[in-house]
Amino acid sequence: MTDVIETAPTSPDPRDRGGPAQPMLIVENIKKYFPIRAGLLNKKVAEVKAVDDISFYVLKGETLGIVGESGCGKSTLARLLMYLIEKDEGHLVLDGDPVGEKTGTSLDGLRRSLQMVFQDSYSSLNPRLPIEASIAYGPKVQGTREKAAKEQARALLEKVGLKAERFGQRYPHELSGGQKQRVNIARALALDPRLLILDEAVSALDKSVEAQVLNLLGDLKEQLNLTYIFISHDLHVVKYISDRVLVMYLGQVVEIGPVDDIYSNPMHPYTAALLACQLSMDPDERVESAPLAGDPPNPVNPPSGCRFHTRCPYVEDVCMSKMPSLGDTLRADPGEHLAACHMVHAGSGHSKAPNPDSRPLPLWQGETR
């Protein structure tokens, strides 16, 4: 298996601390349960396991794609990483420094290194502020002088392909979706971050505009030495942009690995079903029956055992009782392809699990490790 991850940038980044081999961000056992309260006394009656014990890392300069259906917790994960929601458990390590602990990076330091581009919607930009002011706001908060921040905002507008003298004083409702998304990107770049979280950043755009914004993201990544976490439900786009892909289902990671491995050889039946849901452009290749039945189950009371067992075509007794393990994602090599499914773990008790002695898998052709 070849290492698909591009190695460290050619010119050393002055902001770099941990060296090229140190992952940009390590996420360790992060957890968030939202309580559901009801009744007169606001008693907790249930909880939504939005993000349930997730660990992974992002290498410097790579793009990690995160996919999953709505409600799988991918947006909650993004907000946890940004410290917009408080996590219940877990640690973040930013370029070798633990975040929010005495010895490590402060929250302010995290905010300067980590920024987020939101989905284009009416709410992503303050409707009462000219876009220039929206972009300049972050640097001003961090202590940049009013005038310098304005100048920086105008430079950023040019950088994302909008003429500053023409667009700077406009309000969000005077811009098209693609233009607004360029402004959103400029705002995220204003603090000179190293890692950008793109949460469905191109999902609401028209196809031709989507291509423009993706080109822009590609160019910016190169120019500014950025690392991306790209969250999307569009598998075509994730395939195009990502180096590695992480698949989420009901708050858990079910599969992680290099993009080509995942797309050509999905190991988890959920990933396989998601891939089968991509529509062909050829009217002769119509889908006659849906690859995945039903809606994703409610994250309030997730199924026991493997959370996917209610929709899985290969379900067996072991799937309902025992939760399959993904393996140690933090120790794994970036080229490694891991899946949380009993069918890929030898000796799991699933009839399709590989025999400990003979390697090749019966279900998915080709080798997995």
Partner 1 sequence: MTDIPAGSFPTDKTQAAPATKVRGYWGSVWNRLRYDYVTLFCLGLITVIVLLAVFAPWLSPMDPERSSMANRLRPIGHAKFTLGTDEQGRDMLSRLLWGGRVSLLMGIVPVIFATLIGGTFGIIAGYYGGKVNMVIMRTMDVFFAFPSVLLAVAIAGSLGGGIGNQMITLTVVLIPPICRVAETATAQVRSLDFVDAARASGASTYSILTNHVLINVLSPVLVYSSTLVSISIILASGLSFLGLGVSPPTADWGLMLSTLRQSIYVQPLVAALPGLCILVTSIAFNLVSDGLRQAMDVKA
Partner 2 sequence: MNEMRSPDLSQVEAQNEKPDAYVKVKDLQVRFVSREATVKAVNGVSFELKKGEVLCVIGESGSGKSVMMRSLMQLHPKKRTRITGEMKIGEHDIMTATDKQMSELRGSTVSMIFQEPMTALDPLYTIGDQIAETVMRHEKVDRDAGWKRALELLELVRVPSPERRLKAYPHELSGGLRQRAMIAVALSCRPSLLLADEPTTALDASVQIQVLVLLRKLQREMGMSMIFVTHDLGVAAQIADKVAVMYAGRIIEYGNARDVLMHPEHPYTRAMLSSTIKDQKKGAQLETIAGTPPDLRALPDGCSFAPRCRYAGPDCFETMPDEVTDGRGHMARCAKVNVVRGLLAFEPGIPAAPALA
- Rounded CA gap, 243 and 266, in Å? 15
Nearer to partner 1, 217 or 339 (CB): 217
- The listed partner (partner 1, partner 2, none) that binds 7, CB under 5 to 8 Å by sort, is none
Shortest distance (Å) from residue 294 CB to partner 2: 8
Question: Would you count residue 214 as binding partner 2 (CB under 8 A)?
Answer: yes
Question: Would you count residue 138 as binding partner 1 (CB under 8 A)?
Answer: yes
Task: Find the part of the chain contacting partner 2 (CB under 8 A) among 117-125, 276-284, 328-336, 354-362.
Answer: 276-284
SS3 82: coil
Overall residue count recorded for the chain in this entry? 369
Question: Would you count residue 107 as binding partner 1 (CB under 8 A)?
Answer: yes
Question: Would you count residue 162 as binding partner 1 (CB under 8 A)?
Answer: yes
Binding track, positions 228-247, relative to partner 2; x by CB under 8 A: -----xxxxx-xxxx-----
Q: What is the DSSP letter of 243?
A: S
User: Bridge-partner residues for 197, per DSSP?
Assistant: 116, 229
Q: What is the DSSP letter of 238?
A: H
Task: Find the part of the chain contacting partner 2 (CB under 8 A) among 37-45, 206-214, 335-343, 346-354.
Answer: 206-214
SS3 40: coil
- Contacts of partner 1 in 67-106 (CB under 8 A): 79, 82-84
Question: Would you count residue 323 as binding partner 2 (CB under 8 A)?
Answer: no
CA-to-CA dists, residue 342 to 251, 317, 318, 328, angstroms: 18, 11, 8, 16
Any residues with CB less than 8 A from the CB of 46 and at least 6 apart, and which?
35, 36, 300, 301
Interacting residue with partner 1 among 3, 89, 108, 295 (CB under 8 A): 108
User: Bridge-partner residues for 257, per DSSP?
Assistant: 245
Question: Would you count residue 174 as binding partner 1 (CB under 8 A)?
Answer: yes
Any residues with CB less than 8 A from the CB of 90 and at least 6 apart, and which?
27, 28, 29, 30, 31, 53, 54
Note the residues at the interface with partner 1 (CB under 8 A).
79, 82-84, 107-108, 111-112, 115-116, 118-119, 121-130, 134, 137-138, 141-142, 158-159, 161-163, 166-167, 169-174, 176, 179, 184, 187-188, 190-191, 212, 215-216, 219
